[in-house]
Amino acid sequence: MAESLNNLALLYRVQGRYEQAASLLDRALSIRERVLGPDSPDVAQSLHNLARLYHDQGRYEQAAPLLDLERAHSIYERALGPEHPDVAASLENYAVLLRNMGRSKEAEPLETRARAIRVKSA
């Protein structure tokens, strides 16, 4: 069910139906946390999707806590290991958000680490 809600929400996001997308992503996140536990990579994916929706709308302050190193990124790192390509993608996504918030200095080390992971996994 959560996967279907997530997929429909992504379609709504592309269509610009942001409020409907947010509602579905919230539901998918809630289901995934309840069924899979808070440390599941699927929960991290839901957090990323919700953060991206907020980012697309310029709602950076709402997106940041979802992607920060204590939430979605830490789930990926614990579940997949520190050198996994999804960890690099998580770092890159958070760095983009920080840059858009005018926090480039905080973004730089994340980008450097993401590049190092990409080089190792190539």
Q: What is the CA radius of gyration of the chain?
A: 14
pLDDT per residue over 95-116, tens digit each? 999 999 999 999 999 999 999 9
Q: What is the pLDDT of residue 68?
A: 81
User: What is the C-alpha to C-alpha distance for residues 18 and 53, in angstroms, rounded to an integer?
Assistant: 7
What pLDDT is attached to residue 69? 79
pLDDT digits (tens, 9 = 90+) for 23-76: 999 999 999 999 999 999 999 999 999 999 999 999 999 999 988 878 898 999
Q: Provide DSSP, 51-74.
A: HHHHHHTT-HHHHHHHHSTTTHHH
Output the pLDDT for position 122: 81
Domains of the chain: 2-121 (1.25.40.10)
Cα distance between residue 50 and residue 54, in whole Å: 6
What is the token pair recorded at 22? 């947010």
